[in-house]
Structure 1
Amino acid sequence: MLRHKQIKQSFECNLAAKAELVFIPSPGVGHLVSAVEIAKLLVDRDDRLSITVLIIKHPNFDSDITSNYSRSVDRIKFIDLPNDFSDSNIPISMFAFIESRKPRVKDAVSNLLTHSDSPRLAGFVLDMFCSFMIDVANDFGVPSYIFFTSGAAFLSLMFHAQFLHDELSTTDLEDLDSELVVPGLANPLPARFLPSVLLNKDMDMFLHEHSRRFRTTKGIMVNTFAELESFAVSSFSDGQIPPLYPVGPILNLNGDNYDVVKKTEIMEWLDDQPPSSVVFLCFGSTGSFSEDQVQEIACALEHCGHRFLWSIRQSPLKDKDKDTVVIPTVLGHEAIGGFVSHCGWNSTLESLWFGIPMATWPMYAEQQLNAFEMVRELGLAVEIKMDYRKDFRNENTIIITADKIERGISYLMESDNQIRTRVKEMSQKSRKALIDGGSSRTRVKEMSQKSR
């Protein structure tokens, strides 16, 4: 009985003790923003939890990516890791660059633990591209968790592609049959919709390595919600991988990395437009087109007759101001009636949050899969072209004609199409997921308790 009482007292003491998580986002504002937003949710659910975010800065961009965050956020602090690279010794690969930061991460965490009043180190929460840091967590004897900034369907495809490579020696997905059966998709995936990152041999190998490392963690938080990707989420219930926590949609709708004067002009113009009358075209931070393609888009917009707001970018190689977002967040404005998008996962979630139907025009990364999921799997988007892709030189020789673009936009902007109705319903579900008792809010609480 005495031994049982001692164990019980020790357990209760541990529950009452303060604990700290170390967050490590990938370099870049997009990954940092998502990490900070989920960190806020975690500390909000547990007042005994604190979080330290370690900032990995790449020498070539994001010189001050923490400038938009207060250094005194309640129970969340930021530490910039030293940037000790010269122009001649920066690793070419981003993955190699992140792995090279392991000694700096270890030093930073060691310094945290030297303070006598430091909370107990409970674990590491790692960005999906920072799985190399699992080694550092193991050195400290604490568990690792992954924060996966894409959707559950892509996570399922990553695991399946790694299984095909390791267990079946399948190395070229393009050479498979015309359709691939993926556990997280209700419909077979045609090979032409495979994500660009799985068709590049170097990237492919890195993704397989990440997938292997994911399997060794204590859990995976995914930026999605159960009501959106119910089939994909349920496919992870077979116990073959660590527990899955759909905690989204994780969005930062208050970003301010844009031209303030331009924002004022845009918002004033939108204020003068009728509700749901404007089609918004935006293709992400590196979404640029050739001059011929731009002309086809312009022709389509002229012929369809809808008011439009179009964010046009030069090629990233030519755009010296590519870190400035020219178009601020506008999807929440009542004048916006449709969104022509590159299908980045953050943009997709934002579109659903505001109930704005989307027309798909993917380019790179996992965007082809996102487009397939939104159009074919879920019926939440209109197709312009789902298998469009750019190579790793940001080039594409295919020109989508004005007629095809016009047809997609015209259907997108119809006031009574079924897709618009379904998107409005999903918008309500996305918001309910994050309130008390909602599916994602509940999983955030579970994650908070287990990470302690």
Structure 2
Amino acid sequence: MGKKTFVLYPSLGVGHLIPMVELAKNLLRHGLGVVIAVIDPPDTDAVTAAAVARLAAANPTITFRLLPAPASSDLDAHPVKRSLDTLRLANPALREYLRSLPAVDALLLDMFCVDALDVAAELGVPAYFFFASAASVLAVSLNLPHYYPTIPSFKDKGKALVHFPGMPAIRALDMPLMVQDKESDPTKVRLYQYKRIPEGRGVLVNSFDWLEHRALKALESGVCVPGRSTPRVYCIGPLVNDGKKGDNSDGERHECLAWLDAQPNRSVVFLCFGSMGAFSAAQLQEIARGLESSGHRFLWAVRSPPEEQREFPEPDLERLLPAGFLERTRDRGMVVKNWVPQAEVVQHEAVGAFVTHCGWNSTLEAIMSGLPMICWPLYAEQRLNKIFLVEEMKIAVTMEGYEEFVKAEEVDVKVRLVMETEEGKMLRERLAVAREKALEAIKEGGSSEVAIAEFIRSGEEGQL
């Protein structure tokens, strides 16, 4: 019998492609043939093609295939609606490509590629979803199409609590921005996508059983999707960049790592907010003042404020930060422009706390490094992640004021709390346990290894 072939199909954008690459590496380790089919519409400014080329060079064992597809012609529509239209318009290209392959044993869809279910059904290929966020977010998302029609828009409810089956209470304002207004196109698109996910044969989640037992219990008991069966959920994570190879294209070690080498163990606060995390000049000033008054060492990745990024792609630190700040803190702080090799930094023994936007990849990297988090969510599902990290998992604290503006005093207080207090020590102890449980999950015989073996078997057999 020949090698089984699984086709992975990410949504638009590099942020959706990278988790699929980590999934592909995992499937390859289990002896499968893997192809990542990437939609390449004409309006992506060649970003996708360049990212695919870079990832293909770094992962020669993975086959990448670009599928040229028309972009949505509705230029006035919201980007979320345009994205859905483009994904739907890519169906003929996907169909043609799948037909060209000798055999396809399973199709693994990004959570937003729901219209590809129609292609899979037509060709008789088992279709699964890969949900690159938390199982807790999946539980809320799957229930949203059933729950939302019965209540006012979240934007009208403010701090009022909303309740999803089997999950902790959530403030309405912490629900993702895309679903705040139930009459808007983005919300209608998301509800359509979440409603179709249960049509898949199963959902792979980048998490592990021990971390999210409450959400998994809700999903398994069927309360999230009333009136129909919930697909099997396979927790196969954490799938994260191991940080062993530098991400620099020239292969040189980033200067911040050499700086960290010279710092004492667990002494540095690392601040990094993802590829889209940018703050106003006023907010940058407050962060700087808070770091300075805390007295702790820090490594801080700074981007230009959003409104300045086109004109100043590289931030002018002297202008943006308080006068004399860089000079006064030069013996205990390092400010890096735009980018740091985060996977390597979080694993460095000098780092003792992580101020993060709560993106799920960043969260898993912190857990794998036993690193306490100070949550400053910015966009997407990050506010939901914050709730689960702080209230459910108890491995993080919240930077109060994140909804609008965080004061210097709050930065100072939270840095000291994690680095100096008994509460910070307890966070570190809980994270040491979480790290141990994560490593157990991905070992031979661990829950995530067992789950991926079961998934592969179900894909090969075409069973539910």
TM-score of the aligned structures, taking structure 2 as reference length: 0.83
Q: Distance in 2 between matches of 1:194 and 1:103?
A: 29
Which moved further from structure 2: 147-156 or 172-181? 172-181
Q: Which of 103, 107, 129 does residue 146 from structure 1 map onto?
A: 129
Paired positions, count: 419
- Matching residue of 1:198: 179
Q: Which of 421, 440, 447 does residue 455 from structure 2 map onto?
A: 447
Per-residue deviation, 1:28: 2.4
Distance 1:128 1:111, change over 3 A: closer
Q: In structure 1, the residue corresponding to 2:254 is in which secondary structure?
A: helix
Which moved further from structure 2: 156-165 or 82-91? 82-91
Given that 2:254 and 2:340 are in contact with CA atoms closer than 8 Å, whether structure 1 keeps it comes out as: no
Paired amino acid for 1:26 = S
Q: Which of 92, 110, 126 does residue 96 from structure 2 map onto?
A: 110
- Matching residue of 2:162: 180
Q: Distance in 1 between matches of 2:54 and 2:338?
A: 14
- Matching residue of 1:252: 241
- Matching residue of 1:285: 275
Distance 1:67 1:256, change over 3 A: farther
Paired amino acid for 2:364 = L
Q: Distance in 1 between matches of 2:87 and 2:175?
A: 31
Q: Distance in 2 between matches of 1:447 and 1:69?
A: 25
- Matching residue of 1:8: none
Per-residue deviation, 1:310: 0.5
Q: Distance in 2 between matches of 1:89 and 1:173?
A: 27
- Matching residue of 2:420: 414
Q: In structure 2, the residue corresponding to 1:67 is in which secondary structure?
A: helix
Q: Distance in 2 between matches of 1:317 and 1:256?
A: 31
- Matching residue of 1:437: 445
Per-residue deviation, 1:282: 0.8
Distance 1:178 1:421, change over 3 A: same
Distance 1:104 1:293, change over 3 A: closer
- Matching residue of 1:295: 285
Distance 1:26 1:410, change over 3 A: same
Consecutive unaligned residues of structure 2, counting only runs of 5 or more, are 223-228, 315-336
Matches within 5 A, 1:17-32: 18-32=3-17
Per-residue CA deviation, residues 205-226 of structure 1 (Å, 9 max, x unaligned), is 2221111110111001111111
Per-residue CA deviation, residues 278-315 of structure 1 (Å, 9 max, x unaligned), is 00001111111111111111111111100101011113
Q: Distance in 1 between matches of 2:125 and 2:152?
A: 34
- Matching residue of 2:141: 158
Per-residue CA deviation, residues 14-62 of structure 1 (Å, 9 max, x unaligned), is xx454322211112223212112212222322x3x32221112352333
Q: In structure 2, the residue corresponding to 1:273 is in which secondary structure?
A: coil
Q: Distance in 2 between matches of 1:315 and 1:259?
A: 26
Paired amino acid for 2:260 = L
Q: Distance in 1 between matches of 2:93 and 2:185?
A: 30
Q: In structure 2, the residue corresponding to 1:68 is in which secondary structure?
A: helix
Per-residue deviation, 1:101: 4.4
Matches within 5 A, 1:228-377: 228-239=211-222, 240-254=229-243, 257-258=247-248, 264-316=254-306, 318-320=308-310, 321=313, 326-329=339-342, 330-377=345-392
Distance 1:102 1:368, change over 3 A: closer
Q: In structure 1, the residue corresponding to 2:365 is in which secondary structure?
A: helix
Q: Distance in 1 between matches of 2:290 and 2:355?
A: 12
Given that 1:223 and 1:246 are in contact with CA atoms closer than 8 Å, whether structure 2 keeps it comes out as: yes
Q: Kindly report structure 1 stretches of 4+ aligned residues shifted beyond 4 Å.
A: 71-75, 83-92, 101-105, 174-177, 255-263
Q: In structure 2, the residue corresponding to 1:327 is in which secondary structure?
A: coil
Per-residue CA deviation, residues 196-248 of structure 1 (Å, 9 max, x unaligned), is 23214332222211111101110011111111111111111124311111111
- Matching residue of 1:66: 52
Distance 1:89 1:207, change over 3 A: closer
Which moved further from structure 2: 413-422 or 338-347? 413-422
Distance 1:179 1:78, change over 3 A: same
Q: Distance in 2 between matches of 1:265 and 1:447?
A: 42
